[in-house]
Structure 1
């Protein structure tokens, strides 16, 4: 499992290896149009002689958040900049956590700096990146946890720098990103989950119906699509998925995610039983 660069609720780090295992053994290019933490891309890019990973040409990651894409660009092209920034800022943060956190958050809300956004992801409450719909203000409070040390962060940045050698990044919406894929390519989609994520990641305007149409267009061009989607909760007693068009997918894999991070946060100190959440992994082939 590749250590996370960003602290990001809902990331697929725990399931990335499983998701990659369902990819074709060989394909042309890889596209991830809802990049988020980049966990699945990182796993795909990881080279391990003990694992049978797919062979492909290049990976393209994109997202609508320019400051998120800015982090990956910095890690790929100027990793020392991020390493030095984190070391300087986190040392000040540890001296006066509240004052430093709100200083960084206020600064980010003024200029949407990628470096500040990276540090906020590592220090905000449980990695929940929440933007107000009215004005786009990043409003997540400070987290109670101790952020990782500068040395640990440096090792992660250097690892990701090596992984991203065969990757490129761009700020764009999923429709434009997916339109660039051609026959023989693979797209992995991890869109905002319709039941719980509309208030975070700036996802209030996401419409799943637009994604269905885009997937249909890609299929017609010979592109293979993988889609992670909310499935069930309360140990499969409650369906939290959406109506999926019958003509889009040929396979459905159920992934047991355990209890969700949000459920654990909302029930801190309580014993949770029969509260497992399942994701769906949908494949077009």
Structure 2
């Protein structure tokens, strides 16, 4: 476990050089960029003002960067409820987790997981969703298109105990102390960025995430319009988008507007947990995924 020390002041004021890896997760989340966040951050501008992340998810890039002024947002209310609780009442966040962990570990874990998942599906909320992200299979937060219900089965590994989770809450709260969290559409979130700010976008993959959280209503064309508007007023934008899968054998073609991006960098993510889930846990040596990191600067 990493020590809860104060983040580096140069990083916190908007410098992206020499950011160290940060491996301690708060939420388990398929598609999280946390394990490669330090590589992504190295391609951010050497200096920028406020940091914005409009597809927040598990916040791995934001927590690695530790911005002094940061704005995280998402349209998914239960997720933002978690991040807002982290800032305003971390003890409540710890209590949410411990209550469900004790139910989960006191008897039949499968039955307890189903109770928590059923309670969430009956009324989506941050408290149930928090525990589900840490106890579902591989962090694959999957929803049915028919009714919007979370459908992921229980994971094979036990979720971490409450004391370990509480330490993570304290560490993450410190790293995100300069950040604010809002439930809002990505276009509105990007519109509030000022000249000299940086926006990092990690939207749902168009080639593989149609059943994952938030993907059903996402429009890539709307995102490109927002990026163009940001660029026109002097906001830096970095975008992670589909690159290659099947260890480079399949190129995920995504049409890009001419002249919108100045640079493209390929970043290796590792093996696809979503494909492992879809393949029933089989070996995924041929399922290595790479992202395109597109930069407007």
For each residue in 1:216-237, what CA deviation from the matched residue of structure 2 results, as whole angstroms up to 9, or x when unmatched? 1111011000000110112222
Contact in 2 for aligned 1:27/1:57 (Cα 8 Å): no
The equivalent of 1:5 in structure 2 is 26
**In the TM superposition, what is the alpha-carbon distance from 1:181 to its structure 2 partner?**
0.6
Deviations 1:115-144 (A, max 9, x none): 111001111121111222232222222222
User: Does the CA contact (< 8 Å) of 2:82 and 2:127 recur in 1?
Assistant: yes
Shift of 1:38: 0.3
Judge conservation of contact 2:243–2:252 (CA < 8 Å) in 1.
yes
C-alpha displacement of 1:268: 5.8
Of the candidates 70, 82, 85, which is equivalent to residue 93 of structure 2? 82
Residue deviations 1:4-25, cap 9 Å, x none? 1101001001111111111122
RMSD of Structure 2 on Structure 1 (CA): 1.6
Q: Cα distance 1:77–1:259, how it changes in 2: closer, same or farther (>3 A)?
A: same
Shift of 1:262: 2.0
- Contact kept, 8 Å, 1:58 with 1:167, in 2: the verdict is yes
Post-superposition shift, 1:240?
Answer: 1.3
Extract structure 1 runs of 4+ deviating beyond 6 A.
none
Aligned equivalent of 2:105 = 94
Q: Secondary structure of 1:278's match?
A: strand
Q: Map residues 1-285 of structure 1 onto 2, 5 A cutoff.
A: 1-45=22-66, 57-95=68-106, 96-267=108-279, 270=282, 272-285=284-297
Give yes or no for contact 2:28–2:134 (8 Å, CA) kept in 1. yes
Is 256-265 or 213-222 further displaced after alignment?
256-265
Name the TM-score, length of structure 1 as normaliser: 0.92
Secondary structure in structure 2 of the residue aligned to 1:187: strand
Question: Is 2:275–2:284's contact at 8 Å kept on the other side of the alignment?
Answer: no
Aligned residues: 275
Give 5+ residue unaligned stretches, structure 2. 1-21
Q: Bigger shift: 183-192 or 252-261?
A: 252-261
SS in 2 for 1:93: helix
Q: CA contact under 8 A between 1:31 and 1:60: conserved in structure 2?
A: yes
Deviates more, 1:220-229 or 1:265-274: 265-274
Residues of 2 paired with 1:270 and 1:138: CA distance? Answer: 23
8 Å contact from structure 1 (residues 36, 63) kept in 2: yes
Equivalents in 2 of 1:193, 1:255: separation in Å?
A: 15
Q: What TM-score do the two structures reach when normalised by structure 2? A: 0.88
Label 1:138 to 1:239 Cα distance change in 2 as closer, same or farther (>3 A). same
